[in-house]
Every structure is written in structure tokens, then in C-alpha cells.
């Protein structure tokens, strides 16, 4: 069942910490992709400030995705770990589950 609970009730300090954590994330997407919209909806619901990289409008973003993740499929969440290692997460359901586990 979809969870529509309002997740925005953070103190300014908590939101600042979430914003800091989101700096290590980027979502590769484009508007007409329904799977991307599902992830974007969750990002909005959780009040996350995640950089969006539109692979239709920005050829450099598409090249980054292909070279880093191995595929041009969207959505893909780029996660840069504290070690500097980069993980490319495909599959909208996996991305939504990961965001909920980390930020809900
Ligand atoms: N099972 C994937 C499907 C994603 C998908 O099919 N994305 C399409 C756009 S809606 C796509 O990127 N197609 C182009 C490609 O695979 O390179 C998910 O849920 O994220």
C-alpha cells in the first residue's frame, strides 16, 4: 500500500542535515518517463533536495550515466559513498525503497 504520510515535519536543523546527505545523490531522469515520475513523487514527498540530471536535455548527463552506470536507462540514482565510491542504482522500485529506508 502506498504511504502518503507527510514526511516534511523536520526541524530546520534536521532538514539541513538531510540536505547535506542529499548532496551525495543525483537522479538521472527525464520528464516523460513514468518510472522517473514515481521516483520524483517520492523525492517530493520526502522533501529531498536531490540534483536532477535530465538525460534527454543534457547529452553530458546521458554520457555520464552510460559511462558510470553502464546503461542509459532511467531512472538511475547515483550514490556517492563517503569512501568516494560511486554506486549507480537502477529500478524505480529499488530507488523508492532505498530513499524511504534512508530518509522516511
Ligand atoms: N524497470 C525499470 C524500467 C525503466 C524504463 O523502462 N525506463 C525507460 C524510460 S520510461 C528507459 O530508460 N528506456 C531507455 C533505455 O532503457 O535506455 C524501472 O522501474 O525503473
Please check whether residue 88 is in contact with residue 76, taking contact to mean a CB–CB distance below 8 angstroms. yes
**Quick one: pLDDT at residue 1?**
46
Q: Look at ligand 1, atom 14, and give the residue with the nearest C-alpha.
A: 73
Domain 28-103: assigned CATH number:
3.40.30.10
**Quick one: pLDDT at residue 34?**
98
When pLDDT is averaged across residues 27-43 and rounded to a whole number, the result is 98
**Quick one: pLDDT at residue 6?**
55
Domain coordinates in residue numbering, the chain = 28-103
When pLDDT is averaged across residues 62-85 and rounded to a whole number, the result is 97
Residue 34 C-alpha to ligand 1 middle, in angstroms? 9
Task: Kindly report, residue by residue over 3-31, the tens digit of the pLDDT.
Answer: 555 556 899 999 999 999 999 999 999 99
| C-alpha angle 63-92-95 in degrees, rounded to nearest 5 | 90
37 lines ligand 1 (CB under 6 A): no
**Quick one: pLDDT at residue 90?**
98
Residue 92 C-alpha to ligand 1 middle, in angstroms? 9
Rg for the chain, CA atoms, rounded: 14
Amino acid at each position: 500500500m502506498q504511504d502518503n504520510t507527510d514526511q516534511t515535519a523536520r526541524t530546520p536543523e534536521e532538514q539541513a542535515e538531510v540536505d547535506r546527505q542529499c548532496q551525495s545523490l543525483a537522479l538521472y531522469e527525464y520528464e516523460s518517463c513514468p518510472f522517473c515520475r514515481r521516483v520524483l513523487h517520492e523525492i517530493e514527498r520526502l522533501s529531498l533536495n536531490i540534483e536532477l540530471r535530465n538525460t534527454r536535455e543534457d547529452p553530458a548527463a546521458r554520457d555520464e550515466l552510460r559511462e558510470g552506470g553502464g546503461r542509459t536507462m532511467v531512472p538511475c540514482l547515483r550514490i556517492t559513498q563517503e569512501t568516494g565510491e560511486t554506486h549507480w542504482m537502477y529500478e524505480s522500485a529499488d530507488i523508492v525503497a532505498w530513499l524511504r529506508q534512508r530518509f522516511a
